């Protein structure tokens, strides 16, 4: 990396403007209001989520919450629940 970069005035070729697909700072700061619940789940389910969460370096409660949110999204397509930032960015790219 010690080599000096030489800049030239050569043509760039075909240039394409890419629409901004990154989430806004407001979307990054947004956090849906949570409600704490007490729920008894099977030992088998908890072991599964804990195992998968450790493989993906996340929290098992977060995985369960996202699973439930995805279920709600599929059952009530007219009501929009919170989507992950990745889903919002993908949707923005498609509309771009």
Q: State residue 78's pLDDT score.
A: 57
- Rounded distance between C-alpha atoms, residue 17 and residue 77, angstroms: 33
Between residues 2 and 80, which one has the greater pLDDT? 2
> Is pLDDT of 92 > 60?
yes
Domain ranges of the chain: 25-95
The per-residue pLDDT for range 29-82, each reduced to its tens digit, is 767 788 999 999 999 999 999 999 999 999 999 999 989 988 888 887 655 545
Split at pLDDT 50, 70, 90, the class of 91 is low
Which pLDDT score is estimated for 8? 86
Among the listed residues 86, 70, 93, 95, the one whose alpha carbon sits nearest the alpha carbon of residue 27: 86
pLDDT band at 2 (very low <50, low <70, confident <90, very high): confident
């Amino acid at each position: 990396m010690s080599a000096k970069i030489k800049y030239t005035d050569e043509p760039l070729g075909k240039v394409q403007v890419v629409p901004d697909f990154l989430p806004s700072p407001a979307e990054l700061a947004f956090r849906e209001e949570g409600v704490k619940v007490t729920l008894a789940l099977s030992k088998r389910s908890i072991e599964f989520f804990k195992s998968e969460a450790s493989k993906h370096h996340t929290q098992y409660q977060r995985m369960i919450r996202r699973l439930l949110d995805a279920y709600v999204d599929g059952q009530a397509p007219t009501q929009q629940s919170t989507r992950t930032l990745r889903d919002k960015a993908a949707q923005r790219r498609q509309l771009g």
